[in-house]
Amino acid sequence: MSTVNYGNEIAAARTAEDTQRQESANRKVFEEILARFPISDCEANYQLLRSFVNPMTVQGCEYLVKGNVKDFTLAWTSREQLIEDLVKQRRAGASKKTLSDYDLQSWKIRVSVWSLRQLRDYKNKLTFLKEHPTAESAKEFLAGVRKVEPNPFPGFPRLPERMVLPYGPIVYTDINAEYLKNLVRSDFYAFKRLCTLYGSTQIDARMKGIA
């Protein structure tokens, strides 16, 4: 029974990792669609597109956005409204002493020739600055983003540093090179099971002390 539960836990971890990876890819596609079409940047639009095209692709979403499917309706905005929203954001984020009405109006005229992609990028920049108003906050956020490294063993969940084994006492065991080398000699079947669950390349890398 414990072995079956162990396998189910690994399968669930792999499914969760795949789901997270696909969600990230879907969000990137949605960002590209926002840069191409003046649809509203809202969760409702994202979920509607995803319900028709999942995994999301730029080509598939473009087909929907262009009205090729009957009764498929998204929430729309306009370049003019996006510019007005940016003006409001800039005014809310600066006093008239640091940004006069004249300077703000001059800026509005300049951005009126910006592409939709430029407008979206600038909006994202303003949102980021609002959420991270200090240099320290921005550095902490960016440092956290950089720590999220891609899985070097695609298709398999990360091999934990420690885990509760499906046999023996319920205690954590260090899954290090020494343990794996001993496992090859003492229980080759259990070793092969780990290779199946986590990938032989990842197991080999752990045995060499590089994963």
DSSP per position, 165-200: -SSSSSSEEE--HHHHHHHHHH-HHHHHHHHHHH-H
Structural domain including 54 reads 2-65
Q: Does the residue 51 lie in any domain?
A: yes
pLDDT higher at 136 or 50 = 50
| Predicted TM-score (pTM) above 0.75 | no
What's the pLDDT at 93?
Answer: 86
53-88 as b/e: b if 16+ CB within 10 A: beebeeeebeebbeeeeeeeebeebeeeebbeebee
d(CA 61, CA 54): 10
pLDDT of res. 158: 79
Tokens 């956020």: give the residue: 141
Domain assignment present for residue 72? The answer is no
Across 119-139, average pLDDT? 83
CA contacts within 13 A on the Cβ side of 72: 19
Lowest mean pLDDT among 83-92, 140-149, 166-175: 140-149
In one letter, which amino acid is 105? Q
- Residue 166's pLDDT is what? 59
Question: End of a domain among 106, 122, 147?
Answer: 147
Q: Is residue 50 part of a domain?
A: yes
Residue 70 lies in a domain: no
pLDDT beyond 80 at 50: yes
